[in-house]
Structure 1
């Protein structure tokens, strides 16, 4: 039986960039910081100094940490690319997606509104790297961690009711998820 290696020591969240007068982000409403849920590269599920991790639903965070500990036994590190997000940050991501894809309807395949996003409520996490998503796709159900959308292999949510039964069928993308309507 392999002994689980201890989680990495938490890093302190870096300070936000200096604020200028005129608004919460230095007068630039298009800039989000760690307090909004931005996650620096390489943050693991064990680093609770970041709101993106600390503000996840406790059940989701616990399941992620248990899964990440098991994945570490196989040399795989689970990184949080995005977790909890403020409404402001979610709206910013949506605006950028609309600009990129050309319409709200096309952007909705990738980004939910602040009113419907499970990231805003702390009930979703986007993980990486690819080895971690592959590991969770094989083993996540035993922790209740399920991929929800076929087009987003990095997006996981907690489905306690599915522990031991396997995850529910995937939605093609968020536009097929009734919660997003």
Structure 2
């Protein structure tokens, strides 16, 4: 049997504890010294237009880096089948502008009297989801110029700001095209008869003249 020196054992334990504390302190100093820009560069990606989108936002609000996102329910904006304008728990609906949503619900109640139901094909979208749709459109149509006739950039999209909704089926869009100005709801683009936005003056003055497609919309030129 080997006899141990209690004093020597305590000394070794003390030295080990000191080394452990020093290691933790060094790690903390390295983390503090690392520039925040390095972290951003390591964890960000670039979209078609070169601005950076945080990949962690693919399933979240998806804000553009350096901008303030509106408070939201989270999510990307993907719409489950059967979603209506009354489904507050779906981020694509719940994150819409409150005035737009109120007008849509009033119109939906009246349309139901005509046996027409409003289904949401698209509403609010995260910036990351909008960028994904734009990338897919470029691949589908073969050029940014043609894709821009159908999909806006995250910076200019009324969906990202929560100010637009795409309705289905076709009879609901047709009903709202006929009655929408009573609620301040207007079609904006001739090539997108499902796309509606709030124009409060429409109740008195009627809906404004539609653009042939989004490329004619001055908001898309920002």
Shorter chain as denominator, the TM-score bin is 0.7 to 0.9
What are the within-5 Å matches in structure 2 for residues 144-155 of structure 1?
A: 144-155=184-195
Counterpart of 2:175 in structure 1 is 135
Q: Deviations over 1:95-133 (max 9, x none)?
A: 000000001110000000000000000000000101100
1:39 aligns to 2:53 (yes or no): no
Q: 2:102 aligns with which of 43, 51, 62?
A: 62
Q: Deviations over 1:121-173 (max 9, x none)?
A: 00000001011000000000100000000000000000001213210000000
1:81 aligns to 2:121 (yes or no): yes
Q: Give, in whole Å, the separation in 2 of the partners of 1:172 and 1:41.
A: 29
TM-aligned CA deviation for residue 52 of structure 1: 0.3
- Is the helix fraction higher in 1 or 2? 2
Mapped contact 2:57–2:128 kept (Cα < 8 A): no
- Report the RMSD for the aligned CA atoms in angstroms: 1.5
Q: Give, in whole Å, the separation in 2 of the partners of 1:148 and 1:44.
A: 21
Q: 1:49 aligns with which of 65, 89, 95?
A: 89
SS in 1 for 2:204: coil
TM-score normalized by structure 1?
0.82
Q: 1:23 to 1:143 in 2, by over 3 A?
A: closer
Query: How many corresponding residue pairs?
Result: 153
Q: Deviations over 1:40-84 (max 9, x none)?
A: 111000011111000000000000000000000110100110000
Structure 2 unmatched runs, 5+:
1-54, 60-73
Counterpart of 1:165 in structure 2 is 205
Q: Give, in whole Å, the separation in 2 of the partners of 1:51 and 1:121.
A: 13
Q: 2:142 aligns with which of 102, 112, 125?
A: 102
Q: 1:119 to 1:111 in 2, by over 3 A?
A: same
* Higher RCO, Cα 8 Å, sep 6+: 1
